[in-house]
Amino acid sequence: MPDDIKALSAQLAQDPASLVFLRLGELLRQRGQLDAAHRVALTGLERHPHLADAHDLYARVLADKRDYERAFDEWDMALRFAPGHLGALKGLAFLYFKVGDVAQARAHLEAALRAAPDDPSLVQAVTLVRGGQAAAAASELAKERTPLTPAAAHGPLEESRVFAGLEGAQEGLLLLDASGRVLGGALRDPGGHDVSEPVAAYLAGVSQEAGRSAKLLGLGTWTGLSAEGRQGHVHLAQPTRDALLLVVRDRSVPMGRLAIIAQRAAQAAHRWLEQQA
């Protein structure tokens, strides 16, 4: 891949107006060289402002840099120039999952599937979301959105840095910010697969919805939410105004004890977040 980047860079230097910037920018993005990818994508976009693929590439880079608002604008612009643009539809579906708007995510996924009915990732994602498995559908989209960076670059921080010394610190604790970015902890499904990112994406915006619901019901400020499941229990807490904590335990842990575990984890997360500010 480095040789490909070198060759493409040489081609672009010889012909700055060439569309080779699309391949170069995507390769840089996949390698995690986001600053370089950003420069290539932005320069290419300035030369080709009406090219939907250029807006799509720039949006991909912005999304990887967690600039979701601008990424949304770029994917929206791509659709204006090319209605039915597959990359833009997938990208917007991904962002709608990030903010918890499953209805809009599904609508964009289904539009993408109409444009590319043989795309296996789309078939899988649409099947999952139609079956009520929004988090799994978000995970399917996230696979192609994720740049090929070393795990430490954008992955979850080591649990010990946030939840050191807490019961079950190595699993079942997930700390995320308001945009759905994983800050610490990790979650795995019964098969042992890491589902931290899709769960975080699905939970983005939950704290705002909980706050609005509590206000409408006259309950004041919400401090925690608990739910029982067939295989286990979950508890949501809000360590700070801009962070959300999810605690997951099997059914052997009583709900009262789960709330205590969540409270301690939230306190640890609050301290850690203050240190990072």
Mean pLDDT of 115-133: 79
> Of 259 and 219, which is predicted with more confidence?
259
| Predicted model pTM | 0.54
CB count within 10 Å of CB 9 equals 17
User: 165-198: per-residue pLDDT in tens?
Assistant: 665 555 688 888 876 778 888 887 777 777 777 7
Buried (b) or exposed (e) across 25-48, using 16+ Cβ within 10 A? bbbbbbbbbbebbbebbbebbeeb
Average pLDDT, the chain: 79
Q: Please check the confidence at residue 256 and state whether its pLDDT lies above 90.
A: no
Q: CA-to-CA distance for 12 and 129, rounded, in angstroms?
A: 41
- Measure the CA dihedral 89/183/200/94, to 10°: 0
**Amino acid letter for position 247:** V
Instruction: DSSP for 208-219, please give it.
Output: HHHHHHHHHTT-
- DSSP-derived 3-state class of residue 19: coil
- DSSP-derived 3-state class of residue 50: coil
> Of 59 and 139, which is predicted with more confidence?
59
Q: CA-to-CA distance for 128 and 135, rounded, in angstroms?
A: 9
At 150, is the pLDDT very low, low, confident or very high (cuts 50, 70, 90)?
A: very low
User: 94-106: per-residue pLDDT in tens?
Assistant: 888 877 788 888 8
> Of 164 and 215, which is predicted with more confidence?
215
What local confidence, expressed as pLDDT, does residue 157 receive? 36
Only one residue has tokens 């600053």, namely 35
Q: Please check the confidence at residue 39 and state whether its pLDDT lies above 90.
A: yes
Angle, in degrees to the nearest 10, between helices 52-64 and 86-98: 30
Mean pLDDT of 58-72: 89
Q: Which residues pair with 117 in a beta bridge?
A: none
Percentage of residues in the chain having pLDDT higher than 70: 81
Mean pLDDT of 116-130: 80
Q: Please check the confidence at residue 65 and state whether its pLDDT lies above 80.
A: yes
Mean pLDDT of 237-258: 84
Q: Please check the confidence at residue 156 and state whether its pLDDT lies above 50.
A: no
Phi, psi of 261, rounded to the nearest 5 degrees? -60, -45
Q: CA-to-CA distance for 97 and 114, rounded, in angstroms?
A: 19
